[in-house]
């Protein structure tokens, strides 16, 4: 039974069967809302699906040797880990089965970004290498804040288990942690103020520059799945506990949708920052939130 539940979570909800259409839907919401904020009509509803199918039908340049195999492997690893991260989200009240903890979820969320870095260097393009270097610097700068915020959330509830964290009521302390996580999301999803690694005008879309056809389709899909996983993580931390499973799924989707709209508005309203400004922003300004959250969480824990 427990294996069946785990499989159902990975394959149906919130796993592949839900996550892939949700990824396309969120990608569409992002493009559409940016278009509407700019006074345009924007792409049709099925656009990310059209793009995905079209990319599957395109040729890839011939690549031989280890580099060629690696370039086919990186996007697949990114997609599978992103699906795994979505599948771990404690959306429904569990009835046994495999319960990962927060540490596993964070590791799975981080793998796509590492794949992007590796992919840029594997492609041996100068633009890819610059993009990868930027992605690495970005990852170092936001992850300090992101991990501190996650630790503060976990420390305030005395547990790393996702189930317990999702069920615990949201305290004011937790909101500070959630706020810090939200500030990190644009960098994690490469959205506009922090869209340095995939800057199209400066470095020809960075690490993705050499990828074409099905490989690029997988990168697009993994980007969409990262959207689902990252917004879903915040949604599960915010969502109140529901008795009925259908209702909790609905609240999860609605909250994720709200966060996508929020992030898209931010992306539409801002321009790209330089790399040094980004690092300064995270290490000097945002880290205050995270340190405040984690220190007060530890203090509360010592007192109790």
Partner 1 sequence: MKLWNRLMCYCRRHSPWLFHLNSGSCNGCDIEIVAALTPRYDAEQLGVRLEGSPRHADILCVTGPVTKNAVCAIKTVYGQVCGPKAVVAIGSCPATTNVFIDSRTLDGPLSKHIPVDVFVPGCPPRPDAIIEGVAKAAEILAARGNISAQAPPAIEQTVEVQA
> Which residues would be at the binding site for partner 1 (CB under 8 A)?
31, 35, 38-44, 46-47, 49-51, 53-54, 56-61, 127, 199-201, 203-205, 208-213, 216
CB 180 within 8 A of CB 174: no
Nearer to partner 1, 201 or 284 (CB): 201
Of the candidates 47, 271, 300, 65, which has an alpha carbon nearest to the alpha carbon of residue 173?
300
**Judged by CB, which is closer to partner 1: 60, or 296?**
60
Nearest-angstrom CA–CA distance, 41 and 108: 36
- Shortest distance, position 135 Cβ to partner 1, whole Å: 15
Per DSSP, 39 falls in state T
Nearest approach, Cβ of residue 40 and partner 1 (Å): 4
CB closer to partner 1, 32 vs 174: 32
* Closest to partner 1 by CB, 85 or 216: 216
Least distance (Å) between residue 276 CB and partner 1: 23
Give the 3-state secondary structure of residue 101: strand
**Contact between 275 and 137 (Cβ < 8 Å):** yes
Burial label, 84 (beta-carbon count in 10 A; 0-12, 13-18, 19+): buried
CB of residue 215 vs partner 1: minimum separation in angstroms?
Answer: 10
Distances (CA, A) of 31 to 26, 195, 297: 9, 15, 38
Specify the residue, 46 or 254, whose C-beta has the smaller distance to partner 1. 46
Rounded to a whole number of angstroms, the minimum distance from the CB of residue 113 to partner 1 is 20
């Amino acid at each position: 039974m427990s294996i069946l539940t785990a499989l159902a979570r990975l394959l149906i909800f919130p796993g592949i069967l839900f996550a892939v259409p949700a990824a396309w839907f969120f990608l569409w919401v992002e493009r559409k809302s940016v278009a509407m904020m700019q006074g345009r009509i924007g792409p049709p509803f099925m656009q990310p699906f059209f793009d995905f199918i079209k990319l599957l039908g395109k040729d890839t340049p011939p690549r031989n040797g280890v580099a060629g195999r690696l370039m086919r492997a990186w996007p697949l690893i990114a997609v599978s880990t992103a699906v795994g991260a979505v599948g771990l989200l404690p959306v429904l009240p569990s009835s046994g089965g495999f319960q990962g903890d927060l540490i596993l979820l964070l590791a799975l969320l981080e793998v796509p970004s590492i794949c992007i870095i590796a992919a840029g260097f594997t492609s041996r393009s100068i633009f890819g290498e610059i993009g990868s270097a930027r992605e690495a610097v970005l990852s170092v700068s936001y992850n300090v804040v992101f991990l501190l915020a996650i630790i503060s959330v976990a420390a305030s509830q005395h547990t790393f288990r996702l189930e317990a964290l999702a069920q615990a009521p949201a305290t004011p302390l937790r909101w500070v942690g959630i706020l810090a996580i939200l500030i990190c999301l644009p960098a994690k999803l490469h959205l506009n103020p922090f869209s340095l690694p995939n800057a199209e005008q400066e470095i020809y879309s960075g690490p993705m520059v050499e990828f074409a056809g099905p490989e690029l389709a997988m990168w697009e899909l993994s980007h969409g799945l990262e959207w689902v996983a990252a917004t879903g993580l915040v949604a599960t931390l915010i969502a109140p506990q529901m008795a009925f499973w259908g209702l909790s799924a609905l609240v999860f989707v609605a909250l994720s949708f709200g966060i996508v709209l929020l992030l898209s508005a931010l992306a539409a309203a801002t321009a790209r920052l330089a790399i040094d400004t980004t690092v300064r922003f995270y290490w000097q300004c945002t880290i205050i939130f995270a340190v405040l959250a984690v220190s007060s969480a530890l203090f509360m824990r010592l007192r109790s």
